[in-house]
Amino acid sequence: MPEGDTVWRAARRLDEALAGASVTSTDVRVPRYATVDLAGETVHGVAARGKHLLMRIGDQVVHTHLKMDGEWRVLRPGQRWPHPAHRARIVITTPDTVAIGFDLGIVEVFPADEEADRLAYLGPDLLGDDWDAAEAMRRLAAHPEQEIIVALADQRNLAGLGNVYVNELCFLRGLAPGRPVADVELERAVALAERLIRANRDRVARTTTGDTRPGKRLWVHGRGSQPCRRCGTTIRHARHGRTELELRETWWCPHCQT
């Protein structure tokens, strides 16, 4: 699933292409919203909130979530689509741009005055102008028994971290993924989370090691059975989550993370 920095870049790209333009047509290929017509409305802007993408058009908000396979493409009118038409779930056209959301996990349209309430469950956005580290720590500390790998990935605590970041963050802080929140220095963990994701928000090739070469960018994520880059110990792999439906792939070094 895309991390918050990926969604932030997608929102920026869409905002640069659409903000201030008048919509000429909309095609929402989701039965519940198939009759939505935003033609003639102005695109006020596009923004990310954690992993959620919000396109504000007229007095409506088009809310999408990439989930595992989704993406937004920005094309010129008449330009060939990169994927088959049946994969498109929403198409928004302006005089100069065609914005297409392919394979999106969530597509919904609702009145702009409902936005705050609908997203109120999300924790502070790591890439937001209103990022609130103290509130993120408060939410994490509210469940001291929870495994840290699970707590950091919970968007209700802090919004934007996906599986790559939570695995890498635990390595960098020396935290075994199963360690309970109560035994973690939350201030340092949260501060590092912000630094990591902000350092990568303008990069397509995300890195936590500081090395941008292919195969060198990450410490542990996806590196099961390979040697730890720091100590040489074999990286372990397991799955962690509150329920069977929420299990996440986890990688860690048993020597560097205790």
Catalytic residue among 29, 73, 173, 248: 248
Report d(CA 196, CA 16) in Å as an integer: 25
- Tell me whether residue 49 is one of the annotated catalytic residues: no
Phi, psi (rounded to 5 degrees) for 110: -145, 160
Report d(CA 167, CA 172) in Å as an integer: 9
Residue bearing tokens 């033609």: 39
Report d(CA 110, CA 232) in Å as an integer: 52
Catalytic residue among 3, 147, 168, 194: 3
Catalytic residue among 9, 51, 201, 206: 51
Report d(CA 16, CA 202) in Å as an integer: 15
Catalytic residue among 2, 49, 177, 201: 2
- Tell me whether residue 248 is one of the annotated catalytic residues: yes
Q: What are the catalytic residues? A: 2-3, 51, 248
